[in-house]
Amino acid sequence: MIERETVFVLGAGASKPYGLPVGSDLRKDIIKGLEPNGELRKEVFLVLDGLQSDDLTDFASRLLATKTPSIDSFIRKNSRHDLIARISIAARLLHDEDGRVVDNAGDWYEDLWHFMEKAESFEQNKLRVLTFNYDRSFEVYFTRRLAQLDPDWENPDFEAVKSVVHPLHIHGSLGEDVEFGGIIQENRMSPMLIQEASRGSKILATDRTSRPAYHEAQTVLARAEVICFLGFAYHRDNMYRLMPEKLQKDVQIFGTTFKMVARDIRYPKGQLERLAREAGGSAKVELLPVDCRELLAEHVTY
């Protein structure tokens, strides 16, 4: 059971064990899928009726040429491509969301579930989840496990898990009313489904509606006793907007830096250490070169 006020901040690496791509891989997948005979190109044209071939080619060629680490980074400087980007992301991730992988991959979702189910009542776990991911693998996994725990939940939906782990999708998601991608057969992937999923995603550079989510996230983090960054890339803009001005005086901050280079860790580590110093008490920061599963199993006490 999670007894201390704990917040998980999820980046793309947290979903990677469940078949979802990290930002750099998503960028590569979209570039390849938008090639002249690519399936993704066909899907984008079906959704965006009237789209000119030159517009799609321009988006793909600029995305390739700029070599930005993610599509979000690209859109920050190329906002006119926002709609094509959101449609492309939604179409790609709907294919990648796979309920069978989520159920069978094990890894840190399963470890966390077994730890949390020890509580007399699941709602007693003091966990909040903030995610920068569009995919819904986390809430789908816990919804299904909770449904198995309570046979009265014949048709579990996303609302059921919200009251327990409260995931907040800071940049939006593929939707709560859209069926989970892996359950959808390929012949049911429709332009309407992709369009609906794309409406839930928010690329920060062009969507001001992300701001209330950041304010809510700051409030949650300010109350936390334990903060864990899992599979997070620590992008400067995201860190600047995310962190509150003040933390609890004894807050414990942990984070994964698996396969990250030192220069990418320097800024977030300095920012978090400064906040910890200002909080006083016994606050500490540990960013470690391990994956999500190892961090939670070997280093975090909550």
Is residue 105 a part of any domain in this protein? no
Phi, psi values for residue 131, rounded to 5°: -130, 140
CA 77, CA 191: separation in Å to the nearest integer?
27
Is residue 129 a part of any domain in this protein? no
Q: What is the pLDDT of residues 70-94, one digit of tens each?
A: 888 888 788 888 889 999 999 999 8
Is the predicted pLDDT of residue 181 greater than 50, yes or no? no
CA 125, CA 142: separation in Å to the nearest integer?
13
Is residue 112 a part of any domain in this protein? no
Question: What predicted TM-score, i.e. pTM, was given to this entire model?
Answer: 0.89
Can you give the pLDDT at residue 159?
58
Is residue 46 a part of any domain in this protein? yes
Q: Is 264 exposed, middle or buried (0-12, 13-18, 19+ CB in 10 A)?
A: middle
Query: Structural domain of residue 79, as residue ranges?
Result: 21-97+187-199
Q: Are 102 and 109 in contact (CB under 8 A)?
A: yes
Can you give the pLDDT at residue 178?
41
Is residue 81 a part of any domain in this protein? yes
CA 290, CA 108: separation in Å to the nearest integer?
12
Is the predicted pLDDT of residue 209 greater than 70, yes or no? no
Is residue 208 a part of any domain in this protein? no
Is the predicted pLDDT of residue 61 greater than 60, yes or no? yes
pLDDT bucket at 186, cuts 50 / 70 / 90: very low
Is residue 35 a part of any domain in this protein? yes
Is residue 142 a part of any domain in this protein? no
Return mean pLDDT, the chain: 84
Number of structural domains found in the chain? 1
